């Protein structure tokens, strides 16, 4: 329901944006007046958002996701070709970014050596300061797949939040008490640090999916990866409404699924912890 | 005898000067220097940011042009200084706005719990998936064509601030949920403190680590967003410089290899963001 | 000698065994020689069989139907696979027969008769006949088909007749004269009337073999291609073309440097210079292209501009002053790095026949500009310019975002106009927003745009020069010409479209160019050069100005002697 509402709102935003009803083909000086009228009429078909969306929903019931004007192909075909590639990139990007970020956060939060946070902080800062397009180009130059560029975009966020979270948790009274009682570092880490920080870490994983998708757009455009990110960019430039609506619904679904999975995992963790303590 | 005892006592006490405090002071000084340099750009920079020296296109650094010139013969050093004003003023303002909105919405959702939390969470997920780009395009379309570049970019950053709350709101919501069951809050609630006071005086301050992390991560994110939006005409208009526009030049990687001084905005941004992190940190490293 | 001395102990030890080992060595060496020769031969054979040309398309082609082509990428595929009756030689700019050996235009440009080449087969083996041409034309002229190719023939409403007039001859008659009728057939790919394969049965040098959307398009040589070289060898020389779908210019350039691509079309000046430094033999500057970079002002009566601004933009002297104040040489030198020519008007210097050679680009002169403005009632006060009603002269100029050349050009123009006291506000908009402003809402003041010209003939520009035209950018779709000079241009353009003689047509169009230079409805800034990169591996390359610049003679291109397997 949320995803479909997202589709409607997305369609409305596109419709209200400037340049919706125009087509680049109109600038071709070779076209006759009748051809221009035909192009305008084609565009005008989707100008009533309510009718467009009802038509879209009716088609959705039959598995018809509409037709992309900019690419001249059914949307379902386009998504079928491109989705696996993007999902793969996102999986690499999120897992890579979260792994690198959390590992560095843990090392920084735990290490005794003063100044051990300088290198990770510098790396995170550099990755934050560089546009995703520049990171993607750098990877292209080094012949490294673009999906690892997504990991570099995601990890600074995970690192910063994770580090602050873990450090703050380590300062909690119960952790200090556990340390005073002489519990081992690993037990403190898993039972007394991760457990209370788990909800926020889970939320972080969920947010990383949105971040990763946002980063995938410039990265796929730069690396010419024929994924959904590249499709989204093209659709936005061409104001391709059927394509944009479907991508919005897809992104909403992915965000919902990612966050729901994170919440479910958290609930399972809590259940496990409460069983142990009981 | 007495003196020795005193010294012994001093030795036993933990060190009064934390290493972190020195770093914070240095970071503050660096930030102040950058801010002052940008404010006094008119006096420091040898030329205007828009003046074109058409006989010195893409010139290397020299006594005349400290960081060389760009493709139009404009002094890079001057543009960096003036660009610092735009980016250092507007990006933190947008970051502050998005953080406050995230704190309010995420915090309330986590605090209230139940169905309110569910509605807000769904709303956040929905918000994250919408193509807000078109709102930005519509906003630009509504502005008069002769709007000054600074007004136009200020509006862009304002909108970015209003749109950038959703991701951190989710994390703040999760953090709030954890805190609502904390002993001190249960005690406070039991002692009859009102909901608003509980939220503002006891809950929000404990969310500081997350809020601060969100704040200073957002600054480079908004600077880069402004750069990316420049591809759609939503960034800073010429000739006004910004870090974002200068960062976009890095896409020409061969030029960067041949002219490494083009990395100056990146270096400055990393320094500023790093200093902000040091200044805003509230913890010391805790050994495992 | 030294070696001999040092070998001496070994020689004395080896002694008898040396003869035996030598004979073994000789056998081993000969085996090695035979093996390596065989390997080399095999590699050479392999190299010859992967005789493939590689370059990029910016996006997926929207269609493989030759009659519905309207985007550049589909046009590329059409050029490589489609068989046409006549072809404009991109190098000599002369019309040459392809599937037609002869043609004749009659009835004042309404009728054309073709004599077709015999013994030609489609790629699927079906014979090429006059019925294929007639059927293609009937489909093309179907009112439901809206494409630039179709519209090029529609000079008036009414039915089109096309039929076989003999076993290998065909005619087509149009309701009204069509300017450059024969040359129009350069864009019409002939489809088979009988083949069951429809779009995939082609008459061009290559056929579509594989297509992976978003990734690549593979074309293989047409085994039934009719053309042979002077030695009787069947063309094309190449076995295949691989067209990778690649939008990003930087990665395209990177791949060219690595030897993964053979051609890069439409290099921008900065990339051209970069490549020149590293691979000077790979770059090609074919000279000024047919494209324009222009500025025009909003002269639409119904536009939401304040009246005083509309008065500025409608003033000939104001527009000429702006034109005089823009330093075209600097734009060529700074923005295009010397790879552009100042433009005098709507015809590039490369368009030798249609150029009005008497016209020169406006000379840069701030004083001349100020003099014009003063004559028009403007005056300078301090650093600012004011009109007769004391309105400060300030206006915006829009251009499309993401185009660095345009953004830089605007920055230069802004500085140039500042010398007159004019404040120019630069606004970059994404392309759909820009189109909406200039063609629907007319909510703009001035624009910097690029126009791509694919044809030499100015008849393709009718919609621009006719006051009723939708592309009459500064004031489109006029019911009647609002100025005397626009009425004059209307008459001249219609006259040149109807005139049968090309010299007469040129005379008319020369006059149009003179009026445009005098009235400056569009300020022509520069004609950018046609820049490309070509691998040294590629043979028989003759760069031309007209698109496609490098592979216009694709059937004659060949990969050089370097082993392809080394790629």
Mean of pLDDT over chain A = 82
B-chain CB neighbours of C251 within 8 Å are: none
Structure tokens at C433: 């927003």
Residues of B in contact with C339 (CB under 8 A): none
Evaluate if residue B287 carries a pLDDT over 60: no
CB contact under 8 A, B138 and A17: yes
State the Cα–Cα distance between residues C527 and C452, nearest whole angstrom: 10
Q: What is the pLDDT of residue C299?
A: 96
Q: What is the ipTM of this complex?
A: 0.83
Q: Among B32-41, C48-57, C496-505, which is the least confidently predicted range? A: C48-57
Question: How close, in Å, is residue B238 to chain C by CA atoms?
Answer: 6
Q: If you write DSSP's letter for every residue of chain A in order, what string do you get?
A: -HHHHHHHHHHHHHHHSTTTT--GGGG-TT--HHHHHHHHHHHHTT--HHHHHHHHHHHHHTT---EETTTTEEHHHHHHHHHHHHHHHHHHHHHHHHHHHHHHHHHHHH--STTTTHHHHHHHHHHHHS-HHHHHHHHHHTT--THHHHHHHHHHHHHHHHHHHHHHHHTSHHHHHHHHTT--HHHIIIIIIIHHHHHHHHHHHHHHHHHHHHHHHHHHHHHT--SHHHHHHHHHHHT-HHHHHHHHHHHHHHHHHHHHHHHHHHHHHHHHHHHHH-
| Calpha distance C25→B239 (Å, rounded) | 76
Q: Tell me the per-residue pLDDT of B213-233, one tens digit each, with 9 for 90 and over.
A: 788 788 888 888 887 787 777
B180 touches chain A (CB under 8 A): no
Phi, psi dihedral angles at B225 (to 5 degrees): -60, -40
To the nearest whole Å, the CA of A160 is away from the closest chain B CA by 6
b/e burial code for range C194-205 (CB count within 10 A of at least 16 → b): ebeeebbbbbbb
In this prediction, residues A263-268 reach a mean pLDDT of 74
Q: What is the spatial distance between Cα C226 and Cα C218, in angstroms, rounded to a whole number?
A: 21
Instruction: Tell me the two tokens of residue C181.
Output: 């009728």
Flag whether pLDDT at C280 surpasses 90: yes
User: Nearest CA to C422 among C526, C331, C319, C330?
Assistant: C319
Q: What is the pLDDT of residue B53?
A: 95
Q: If you average pLDDT over every residue of chain B, what do you get? A: 81
Facing C398 at nearest CB: one of B145, B231, B251: B145
A85 vs chain C: nearest CA distance in angstroms? 12
B141 part of contact set with chain A, CB < 8 Å:
yes
- Show the CA angle centred on residue C256, arms to residues C250 and C262, nearest 5°: 135
Nearest Cβ partner for A168 among B209, B214, B227: B209
Which residue in chain C has the smallest CA separation from A227? C214
Retrieve residue C271's tokens. 């990339």
Region C132-145 average pLDDT: 90
Whether B233 sits inside 8 A of C334 (CB atoms) is no
- Which has the closest alpha carbon to B169: B114, B130, B126? B126
Judge whether C21 is closer than 8 Å to chain B, CB to CB.
Answer: no
**pLDDT tens digits, one per residue of C108-137:** 889 999 999 999 999 999 999 999 999 999
- The answer to whether residue B11 scores a pLDDT higher than 60 is no
CA distance A267 to A265: 5
Strand, coil or helix: B122: helix
Whether residue C531 has pLDDT greater than 90: yes
For residue C2, pLDDT beyond 60: no
Average per-residue pLDDT in chain C?
A: 88
Distance (Å) from the alpha carbon of C161 to chain B's nearest alpha carbon: 48
Structure confidence at residue B3 as a pLDDT band (50, 70, 90) = very low
Dihedral angle, C-alpha C497, C500, C504, C506, nearest 10 °: 50
> Rounded distance, CA C548 to CA C545, Å?
8
Tell me if A7 sits within 8 A of A49, measured CB to CB.
no
Q: What is the pLDDT of residue C34?
A: 56
C28-32, C84-88, C104-108, C470-474: the lowest-pLDDT one: C28-32
Q: What residue in C sits closest to A80 (Cα-Cα)?
A: C213
The proportion of chain C whose per-residue pLDDT surpasses 90, expressed as a percent, equals 70
pLDDT average, residue stretch A120-148: 79
B47 interface with C at CB cutoff 8 Å: no
Task: Determine which of B197-211, C156-170, C511-525 has the lowest per-residue pLDDT on average.
Answer: B197-211
pLDDT tens readout for residues A33-60 = 888 888 888 888 888 888 888 889 899 8
Q: What is the pLDDT of residues B43-100, one digit of tens each?
A: 999 899 999 999 999 999 999 999 999 999 999 999 999 999 888 888 889 999 999 9
The CA–CA distances, whole Å, from B183 to A160, A247, B114, B187, B189 equal 27, 45, 20, 6, 10
Digit-coded pLDDT (tens) for C256-275:
999 999 999 889 999 999 89
Chain C interface test: which of B52, B134, B150, B153 (most C C-beta within 10 Å): B52
Residue with tokens 């990171």: A135
Q: What is the pLDDT of residue C328?
A: 97
- Of the candidates A112, A129, A199, the beta carbon closest to that of B287 is on A112
Q: Is A43 on the interface with C (CB under 8 A)?
A: no
Secondary element (H or E) of residue B219: helix B208-229
Residues 84-103 of chain A with CB under 8 A from chain C are: none
CA–CA distances in Å: residue C323 to residues C104, C215, C414: 44, 45, 13
Decide if C365 contacts C324 (C-beta within 8 A). yes
Per the CB < 8 A criterion, the answer to whether C481 and C467 are in contact is yes
- pLDDT tops 70 at residue A116: no
Q: Which run of H or of E encompasses C86?
A: strand C86-88
Size (chain B), residues = 288
Amino acid C565: pLDDT:
34
Among the partner residues B54, B147, B252, nearest to C330 by beta-carbon distance:
B54
For residue C43, pLDDT over 70 is answered with: no
List Cα–Cα distances, C91 to B30, C326, C350, C508, C545, in angstroms: 62, 33, 11, 26, 7
The label of the residue with tokens 């609002």 reads C482
d(CA C207, CA C77): 9
Report the pLDDT value the prediction gives residue C283, as an integer from 0 to 100: 95
User: What are chain C's partners, defined as 3 or more CB pairs within 8 angstroms?
Assistant: A, B
Is the pLDDT higher at C529 or at C460?
A: C529
Q: A203 touching B, CB under 8 A?
A: yes
| Residues 19-58, chain A, touching B (beta carbon < 8 A) | 19
Longest alpha-carbon distance in chain B: 82
Question: Is 90 exceeded by the pLDDT of residue C567?
Answer: no
Instruction: List, as ranges, residues 106-135 from A with C-beta within 8 Å of B.
Output: 108-112, 114, 116-117, 121-122, 125-126, 128-134
| pLDDT the model gives residue C425 | 94
Confidence label for A276 from pLDDT (cuts 50, 70 and 90): low
Residues sharing a CB contact under 8 Å with residue B125, sequence separation 6 or more, in sequence order = A2, A252, A255, A256, A259
Q: Does A24 touch chain C (CB under 8 A)?
A: yes
Predicted pLDDT at C33 = 56
pLDDT of residue C84: 96
Q: Does B42 touch chain A (CB under 8 A)?
A: no
How far apart are the CA of B152 and the nearest CA of chain C, in angstroms?
10
Strand arrangement, sheet containing C100-106: C100-106, C111-116, C169-173, C161-166
The owner of tokens 């126009």 is: C451
Residue from C64, C435, C479 whose CB has the most chain A CBs within 10 Å, to mutate: C435
C357-371 pLDDT, tens digit each: 999 999 999 999 999
The residue of chain A with its CA nearest to that of B19 is A114
Residue of C nearest to B58 (CA): C334
C70 or C500, greater pLDDT: C70
A134 contact residues in B (CB cutoff 8 A): 247, 250-251, 253
Q: Is the pLDDT of residue C383 over 50?
A: yes
- Does C167 have pLDDT greater than 80? yes
The verdict on C279 touching B (C-beta cutoff 8 Å) is no
What pLDDT is attached to residue B194? 74
The per-residue pLDDT for C508 is 96
Given a cut of 70, is residue C50 above it in pLDDT? no
**Minimal Cβ distance to B283: which of A134, A171, A189:** A171
Distance from CA of A2 to the nearest CA of B (A): 6
pLDDT in tens, C331-361: 999 999 999 999 999 999 989 899 999 999 9
When scoring B118, B122, B166, B174 by the number of chain A Cβ atoms within 10 A, the one with the most, hence best to mutate, is: B174
């Amino acid at each position: 329901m949320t995803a479909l509402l997202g589709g409607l709102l997305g369609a409305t935003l596109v419709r209200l944006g400037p340049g919706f009803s125009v087509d680049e083909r109109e600038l071709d000086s070779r076209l006759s007046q009748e051809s221009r009228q035909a192009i305008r009429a084609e565009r005008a078909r989707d100008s009533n958002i309510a009718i467009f969306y009802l038509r879209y929903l009716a088609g959705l019931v039959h598995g018809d996701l509409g037709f992309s004007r900019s690419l001249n192909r059914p949307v379902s075909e386009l998504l079928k070709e491109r989705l696996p590639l993007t999902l793969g990139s996102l999986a690499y990007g999120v897992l890579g970014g979260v792994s690198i970020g959390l590992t560095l956060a843990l090392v920084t939060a735990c290490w005794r050596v003063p100044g051990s946070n300088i290198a990770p902080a510098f790396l995170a800062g550099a990755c934050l300061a560089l546009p995703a397009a520049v990171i993607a180009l750098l990877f292209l130059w080094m012949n490294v797949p673009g999906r690892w560029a997504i990991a570099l975009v995601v990890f600074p966020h995970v690192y910063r939040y994770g580090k602050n979270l873990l450090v703050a948790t380590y300062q909690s009274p119960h952790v200090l008490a556990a340390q005073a009682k002489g519990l081992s570092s690993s037990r403190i880490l898993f039972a007394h640090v991760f457990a209370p920080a788990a909800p926020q870490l889970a939320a972080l994983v969920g947010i990383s999916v949105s971040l990763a998708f946002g980063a995938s757009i410039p990265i796929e455009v730069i690396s010419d990866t024929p994924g959904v990110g590249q499709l989204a960019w093209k659709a936005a430039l061409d104001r391709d409404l059927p394509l944009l609506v479907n991508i919005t619904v897809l992104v909403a679904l992915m965000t919902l699924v990612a966050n729901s999975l994170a919440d479910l995992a958290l609930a399972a963790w809590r259940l496990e912890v409460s069983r142990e303590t009981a | 005898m007495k003196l020795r005892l005193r010294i012994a006592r001093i030795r036993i006490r933990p060190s009064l000067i934390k290493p972190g405090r020195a770093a914070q002071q240095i970071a503050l000084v660096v930030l102040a220097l950058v801010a002052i340099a940008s404010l006094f750009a008119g006096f420091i920079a040898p030329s205007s940011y828009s003046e074109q020296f058409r006989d010195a296109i893409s010139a290397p650094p020299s006594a005349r042009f400290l960081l060389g010139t760009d493709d139009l013969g404009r002094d890079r050093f001057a543009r960096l200084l003036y660009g610092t004003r735009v980016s250092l003023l507007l990006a933190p303002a947008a970051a502050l706005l998005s953080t406050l909105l995230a704190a309010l919405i995420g915090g309330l959702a986590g605090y209230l719990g139940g169905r309110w939390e569910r509605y807000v969470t769904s709303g956040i997920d929905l918000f994250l998936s919408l193509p807000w780009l078109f709102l930005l395009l519509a906003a630009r379309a509504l502005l008069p064509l002769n709007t000054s570049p600074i007004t136009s970019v200020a509006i862009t950053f304002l909108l970015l601030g209003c749109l950038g709350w959703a991701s951190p709101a989710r994390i703040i919501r999760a953090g709030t949920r954890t805190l609502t069951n904390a002993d001190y809050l249960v005690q406070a609630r039991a002692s009859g403190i009102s909901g608003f006071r509980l939220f503002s005086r006891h809950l929000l301050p404990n969310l500081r680590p997350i809020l601060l992390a969100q704040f200073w991560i957002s600054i480079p994110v908004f600077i880069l967003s402004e750069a990316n939006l420049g591809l759609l005409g939503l960034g800073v208009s010429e000739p006004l410089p910004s870090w974002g526009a200068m960062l976009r030049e890095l896409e020409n990687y061969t030029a960067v290899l041949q002219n490494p001084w083009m990395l100056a905005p990146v270096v400055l941004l990393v320094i500023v963001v790093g200093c902000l992190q040091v200044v805003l940190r509230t913890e010391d490293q805790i050994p495992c | 000698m030294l070696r001999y001395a040092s070998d001496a102990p070994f020689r004395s030890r080896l002694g008898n065994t040396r003869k035996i080992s030598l004979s073994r060595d000789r056998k081993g060496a000969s085996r090695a020689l035979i093996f390596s020769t065989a390997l080399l031969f095999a590699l050479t054979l392999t190299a010859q069989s992967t005789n493939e040309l590689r370059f990029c398309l910016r996006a997926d082609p929207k269609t493989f139907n030759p009659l519905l082509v309207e985007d550049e990428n589909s046009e590329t595929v059409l050029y490589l696979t489609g068989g046409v009756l006549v072809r404009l030689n991109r190098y000599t700019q002369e019309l040459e027969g392809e599937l037609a050996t002869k043609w004749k235009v009659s009835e004042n440009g309404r009728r054309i008769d073709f004599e077709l080449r015999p013994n030609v087969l489609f790629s699927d083996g079906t014979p090429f006949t006059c019925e294929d041409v007639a059927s293609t034309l009937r489909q093309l002229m179907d009112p439901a088909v809206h494409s630039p190719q179709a519209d090029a023939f529609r000079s008036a409403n009414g039915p089109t007749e096309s039929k076989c007039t003999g076993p290998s001859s065909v005619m087509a008659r149009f309701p009204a004269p069509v300017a450059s009728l024969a040359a129009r057939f350069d864009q019409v790919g002939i489809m088979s009337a009988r083949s069951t394969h429809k779009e995939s049965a082609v008459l061009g040098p290559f056929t579509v073999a594989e297509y992976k959307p978003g990734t690549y398009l593979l074309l293989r040589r047409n085994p039934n291609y009719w053309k042979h070289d002077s030695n009787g060898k069947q063309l094309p020389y190449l076995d295949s073309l691989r067209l990778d779908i690649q939008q990003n210019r930087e990665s395209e350039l990177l791949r060219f440097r690595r030897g993964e691509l053979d051609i890069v079309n439409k290099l921008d000046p900065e990339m051209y210079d970069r490549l020149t430094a590293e691979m000077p033999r790979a770059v090609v500057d074919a000279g000024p292209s047919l494209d324009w970079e222009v500025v025009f002002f909003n002269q639409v009566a119904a536009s939401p501009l304040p009246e005083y601004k509309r008065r500025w933009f409608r003033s000939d002297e104001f527009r000429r002053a702006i034109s005089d104040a823009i330093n075209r040489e600097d734009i060529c030198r700074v923005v295009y790095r010397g790879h552009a020519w100042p433009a005098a008007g709507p015809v590039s210097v490369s368009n030798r026949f249609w150029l009005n050679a008497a016209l020169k680009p406006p000379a840069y002169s701030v004083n001349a500009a100020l003099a014009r403005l003063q004559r028009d009632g403007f005056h300078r006060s301090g650093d600012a310019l004011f009109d007769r009603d004391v309105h400060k002269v300030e206006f915006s100029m829009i251009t499309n975002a993401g185009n660095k050349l345009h953004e830089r050009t605007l920055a230069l123009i802004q500085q140039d106009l500042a010398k007159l006291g004019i404040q120019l506000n630069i606004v970059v908009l994404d392309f759909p927003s820009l189109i909406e402003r200039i063609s629907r809402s007319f909510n703009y003041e001035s624009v910097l745009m690029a126009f791509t010209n694919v044809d030499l003939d100015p008849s393709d520009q009718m919609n621009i020069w006719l006051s009723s035209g939708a592309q009459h950018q500064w004031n489109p779709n006029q019911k009647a010409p609002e100025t005397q000079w626009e009425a004059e241009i209307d008459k001249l353009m219609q006259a040149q479209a109807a005139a049968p003689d090309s010299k007469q047509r040129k005379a008319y169009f020369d006059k149009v160019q003179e009026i445009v230079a005098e009235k400056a409805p569009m300020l022509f800034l520069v004609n950018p050069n046609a820049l490309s990169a070509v691998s040294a591996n590629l043979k028989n390359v003759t760069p031309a100005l007209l698109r496609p610049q490098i592979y216009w003679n694709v059937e004659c291109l060949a990969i050089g002697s370097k082993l392809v397997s080394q790629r």
